[in-house]
Amino acid sequence: MNPMNPTNPTNSTNSINSLLLRNTLFTVFCAVGVGVFWAPLYQLTTLSLDDSLYSHVILIPLFSIAIIYLKRKDVFLQVKYAPAAGAAVVLTGLMLFLAGRVHQQGLENYDYLSLCTSGFVLWLIGGFVGFFGRTAIRKAMFPSLFLFFAVPVPAVFLDRTTLFLQQMSAGAVEAIFRMIGLPYMRYGAVFELPEVTIKVAEQHPGRP
C-alpha cells in the first residue's frame, strides 16, 4: 500500500487528528479572547438586549459559525499553520482593544465599544488564520468579515445619521404644512405656528 496515497486510511486518520487538534487549539484561543475582551463584550451584549438598533449583534456570530459549518469541507480541505500572519492580525486587534481601554474615559460609549469589538473580531480572524492558514481564511472570507456587522457604529456616524433623519422629518413636516396652507415660521427643526411651537425630535435609527 502506497503511504502517499490520499486514500490511505493512515493518512485519513492523521488528517482528522490534525484538524481535531487545530479545532481544539482554536476553541481554546477563542475562549482566551472572550476572557481578555470580557468587559466590552458584556457591555455589547447588554446593549444588544436594550437597544433595538443592535438587537442583531448576538445573532451575527451564530450566522458566521453556521456558514463556516456548512462550507466546512471546502474551507478545511487544505489547512496549514500560519503563525506569523495570524499573529499580525491578532496584534492589530489587541492594539485597538488597548486604545479603547486607555482612552475609555474620553470616548463615547459607542466609540469605545466600536474599538474593542473590532479588536475582538480581529482576534478571532487572526486566530483562524494562525491555526488554519491563508487558504482557509480566503474560503471563509465572507463569514469572517460578516462578524464586523456586530461592531457598533461610532458615535460620529450615528450622530450624522440622526441629524440627517431629523432634517428629513422636518422637511416632510414643512411640506405637509404647505399643502394644507397652514401658516408657520421655521427655525431649523422648530416650527412656530399661530398658537403652538413644534420641534421635530432627534430620532436615532432603529430606536422607538
| Nearest alpha carbon to residue 124 among 200, 204, 36 | 36
* Residue tagged 421635530 (cell numbers): 200
- At 15-55, the pLDDT tens digits run 777 889 999 999 999 999 999 999 999 999 999 998 877 88
- At 103-124, the pLDDT tens digits run 999 888 888 999 999 999 999 9
pTM, 2 dp: 0.74
CA separation for the pair 184, 190 (Å, rounded): 10
| Nearest alpha carbon to residue 145 among 42, 63, 27, 49 | 63
